[in-house]
Structure 1
Amino acid sequence: MKIDLHSHTHYSDGHLSPKELIDRAHNMQVDVLAITDHDTIDGIAEAQAYQAGQKRKLHILPGVEISTSWHNFDIHILGLHVDHHDPIFLQRLAAQSAERDRRAQQISDKLAKVGINDVFADAKTMAGVGQVTRAHFARVLLARQLVNDMEAAFKKYLGKGKKAHVSPQWISIDEAISWIHDAGGKAVLAHPGHYDLSTKWLKRLVAEFSLAGGDGMEVIHSHLSPEKKKLLADLASQHQLMASSGSDFHYPNRWTELGKNLTLPSQLVPIWRDWNLSGTI
């Protein structure tokens, strides 16, 4: 069974619609797909409705990627198998969306001070039905030929300490875990190998996440060295965290693909161990 528990649609910073994401999951022969947009579950019902008319089975797992703050680092927590109809959960996510808009307006204001005007309006247009993220700002800067690539947009304008950086006011890791558990889901530390953390700080993050009641961590995700994979597997075992794997798919490219190279180390307990993943949802 091919399982991918981390993907995005255009409801956050992914490029594909839920329909297009499902079609690609079928093409890649994925059996279980978690849709985990940033701080929103808006794409899940659309994906489920589309899948209901398909012949090939695909289990769509409702999920979300919640933004949190931890010692001045932005840390993402996946909520997997959440009740995406829960009114309290939806209200809480709406507050996260409001914070995104507040931050986006401040980023736009800072860009205006250096002579780059109306970026928020263009970013909202580019985001369409989705939430505005820093990636949309980077795309606007790229489209205006103010930078040569997305990475340059962050290095020059959007990254920490740069001209248009705005520190977000996200919730704590503890609060995110509580939200996810209240919605009946499992809390998973997203892509721990991608944060700009030393090994010492990564170990501290995993330890504190576990003590806060976290359920699992992604030990397999894109662009991991063999050494980092071993470190993450060892940390999951040490802190008795279940293991998850996900591509963190945003759009088709040569580096990241749905369901590709996501096999978990055999000694770890998969986060989906107790879930019924048969059938089409």
Structure 2
Amino acid sequence: MSSPSPRNPDLHCHSNVSDGTLAPDELARRAHAQGVDLWALTDHDELSGLPEAQRTAEALGMRFVPGVEISVSFAAQTVHIVALDIDPTHTELVNGLQQIRAGRDQRARDMAAALENHLGIDDVYAGALRYAGNPALLSRTHFARLLVEQGICRQTHEVFGRFLTPGKPGYVEHEWACLDDALTWIRAAGGVAVIAHPGRYRFSAAEEWALFDRFKSLGGQGIEVVTGSHTASQARKYARLSLEFGFYASRGSDFHSPGESICDLGRLATLPADLAPVWDLLH
């Protein structure tokens, strides 16, 4: 017998295993308290939070989806691919993610040097590492939290806008996994591939079309339509593109922290009724 359709799914969020601030157990409890009934943990390039998240979610009666958000390079930009319903022990996926994490520490050191040079401050790398704990997981978000702590910016969103996006003084280009490899790993692990928050990327219309077309040709099946960083007009745009490309539509807050995130867990608008929801593909 198939499971009933979820009333309040949230299929994209982060724990302190990557760049969130809550432990997987705390995150599961917050999701449950917010009425989420189908929940995925999707840390950046990291799987180690999944067992704790699953134990707590299932103890609370939530349906749990093991996931991960994979960093990909496409057309000289970083694109995030959410993998849902994966086997987190699959060797090909585990090894691929390890390759991605191996490049994070050097990128972080380069970012720290750039920020120190621009802002005239010291020990940026060590300060950011206090927020991450693990050099292999250092991300822009950890640097953003440090600059808020030091009073340089008031909010992490301000740090990204001033220092940590392409063309800004603390941004460092990095070559992540290629799209072909990421989709290969996801398929091998039995997962469903979803393009995360497509409205955040700075692609031309032609580049975006090329991304969607290549993604579909490689077996990609979904795009996030309703997500914390999409405006209402962007949600309408990607609803149209979901129908045009024949993608399943996903819904996820991209929650990171109670004090930072645009949208809390489970507080998103519903998907338009004419879209095929990605949870129809999940076991």
Q: Normalization by structure 2: what TM-score? A: 0.89
1:90 and 2:94 matched: yes
Distance 1:265 1:139, change over 3 A: same
1:261 and 2:268 matched: yes
* 2:62 equivalent among 53, 58, 77: 58
- Contact map agreement 1:68 1:172 (CA 8 A) in 2: yes
Distance 1:61 1:153, change over 3 A: same
- Contact map agreement 1:187 1:216 (CA 8 A) in 2: yes
Q: How far, CA to CA, are the matches of 2:217 and 2:27 in structure 1? A: 35
The residue that corresponds to 1:45 in the other structure is 51
- Contact map agreement 2:29 2:56 (CA 8 A) in 1: no
1:24 CA displacement: 0.5
Distance 1:15 1:240, change over 3 A: same
- Contact map agreement 1:9 1:37 (CA 8 A) in 2: yes
The one-letter amino acid paired with 2:129 is: K
Q: Deviations over 1:106-145 (max 9, x none)?
A: 1122233343222111111111368211111111122122
The one-letter amino acid paired with 1:66 is: I
1:150 CA displacement: 2.3
Distance 1:146 1:228, change over 3 A: closer
1:272 and 2:279 matched: yes
Matched residue pairs, number?
274
Q: How far, CA to CA, are the matches of 1:267 and 1:152 in structure 2? A: 36
RMSD over aligned Cα atoms: 2.0
The residue that corresponds to 2:111 in the other structure is 107
1:117-266 equivalent positions in 2, closer than 5 A = 117-128=122-133, 131-252=137-258, 255-266=262-273
- Contact map agreement 1:4 1:262 (CA 8 A) in 2: no
The residue that corresponds to 1:76 in the other structure is 80
- 3-state DSSP of counterpart to 2:279: coil
- Contact map agreement 1:206 1:235 (CA 8 A) in 2: no
Distance 1:141 1:67, change over 3 A: same
Q: Normalization by structure 1: what TM-score? A: 0.90
Divergent runs of 4+, >6 A: none
Q: How far, CA to CA, are the matches of 1:142 and 1:233 in structure 2? A: 35
Percentage identity across paired residues of the two chains: 38
